[in-house]
Structure 1
Amino acid sequence: MQYQGVLNKMQTEFGNPIQYYLAFKNSFIHFNQLLNKEIQIQFDGYECLHCGKEKKIFRQGFCFDCFNSSAEVGDWIMRPELSKAHLGIEDRNLVYEQKVQLQPHIVYLAVASDVKVGVTRKTQVPTRWIDQGASYAVPIVEVPNRYLAGITEVHLKGLFTDKTNWRKMLTNEIMAVDLFDLVLKTQDKLPTEVIPYFEQTNHEVLHLEYPVEYFPTKVNSLNLDKSPFYSGKLIGIKGQYLIFDDNTVFNIRTYEGYKVKISI
């Protein structure tokens, strides 16, 4: 059976374990059903997720021109403390920025390898944690806009990393910590204007289970630009990665905008 289309991040459904789906224009793949099966991946060109043109992907599924012009990839996406929609100030498209920035956001702790602090829209919980491959996660504080979440994250970066060690995540080297206790210790480190929201936040720790037959002891990342064809037996899915039995891992998110043929 062969599927063909443009890669976009896998859609997920919370469960025990997480369910993973790769959606194409006219079909989809339920990867959980393909564990222990041989899968072939063939690179077949590019298609920008924004303009739809067959142009080389620059970053995050966008061609160079779209990445430098689209409101969907403004600097405030990666650095929420730069958000200005609450002030009525436009970055690239104020209507879009108000829609995304002026809604409840969660500042959280997640453990995919080490303890990481991060920011996400409330509507993206637990999807954001699943995409990062977190084994467990907890909200620190819920705030009404992205700016407040951003300045909170900045305050806490001295205590926690803001990056996930993807190699440790995929080999299941997970730090054992009491997340609830860590959350309590952040309260006096929060920005003054954020502290009132702390007591209103539900600090429930969420555990996540992934469909992995067994974890590799080391991993090598598949690069479609250098290796346009790959074949291997799928043994797991975690974060946005497919894990194969020869220690190869494939990050679907990295190759958004790449056209592929996938054969089962």
Structure 2
Amino acid sequence: MNPIYEQMKVSVFERMSGLAAKHGAVNLGQGFPDFGWPPEILDAAARAVVEGSNQYAPSRGLPALRDAVAAHYGRHQGLNLHADHVCVTSGATEALGAAILAVVEPGNEVILLTPAYDSYAPMVRRAGGVPREVALKPPEWRIERASIEAAIGPKTRAIIFNNPHNPAARLFDADELAVIAGLAQAHDLIVISDEVWEHVLLDEQTFVPLASLPGMAERTIKIGSAGKIFSLTGWKVGWMVAAPELAAVAARAHQFLTFSTAPISRPRWPTA
């Protein structure tokens, strides 16, 4: 048996959700929103099951859906994207796995900012890489350039960056984003930017995607989630967004994980 999985504990999210159900407790362990979903999306999905195709979608996603994702980020974040930047995946966790498998070679080191989503380190190890953890320290949970730079070495290949951050609930500021961008460019690193909570913000905060910073579009793989945006986590629809050359490589990793995502996931989403 593969020792990575033989020695691995069941996900903390699975454990906490099971305990919450068993004891009738409020579940603060797993990231599914509880504020409902837009009914028009459910109506569109119901029609798609009856009226649309129920066979495999193209591996990278329906062209109309990829166009819709690109247009969504154009409206909300000012990113200049088109369908070739987008690969639809079966949830953001699969997107993270595909991105890591596409970027990391055996022996590469990958910087993880901890505490971190628990899929990062196992997937880095599965790709043959070595996680290098850099702790964000309470109570501020700020990104400090010196601590990250100290962890970077000749084998470092990538940084996995999560913003807004789960579980610290930080939205990193412009100075902190500049640290990640500056180090990535100085050391020729890819950044896998887990941005699934990008639309769940407090106090009228403004989210800035890492790829929008100068010099970062060509070295960032943005991870997004329809489940988080629309409170439809059970649908398991996510995506990777990257420069077309980088997106194409990540899509080749995706094609041998799930190949494609359910075709009922049509782009009839609210435009607000």
TM-score by length of 1: 0.25
The structure in which a higher percent of residues are helix is 2
The structure in which a higher percent of residues are strand is 1
Q: Which has the larger radius of gyration?
A: 1
TM-score by length of 2: 0.25
